[in-house]
Amino acid sequence: MPGDFIMFAGPSGIGKTAFGCSLLYLFGKQNIPTLFLSGEMPEKQIAGRVLSCHTGIDSRLLTREYKKLTQEQINNLLDETIVTQTYPISI
């Protein structure tokens, strides 16, 4: 069965998750099945980071500060969520 296993390791705060979320999104967009595993972050937090990365909305607004979201940001998130649900990605 063809495929690759890629693992990122390194100290905290160097961008491993941000890079992984970008790859997850880009591979999904190209219809490449992708699995993202994290031993540190729950699934909802990773999904929020992916949405944040591609909507430009601060990930804190997707969790603790969601009441500060504008209607435009909410619409943008809904549109992006609908699109990414069609991608062959698993978290």
Q: What tokens does 62 get?
A: 């997707």
CB count in 10 Å sphere of residue 26: 13
According to the model, what pLDDT value does residue 39 have? 81
pLDDT along the chain (91 residues), means of 10: 78 87 89 87 85 84 85 90 87 86
Q: What tokens does 43 get?
A: 């699934």
According to the model, what pLDDT value does residue 31 have? 92
**52 sits in which H/E element:** helix 43-55
Q: What share of the chain is helix, strand, coil (3-state, %, to 5)?
A: 55, 5, 45
Q: What is the pTM of this model?
A: 0.73
According to the model, what pLDDT value does residue 88 have? 92
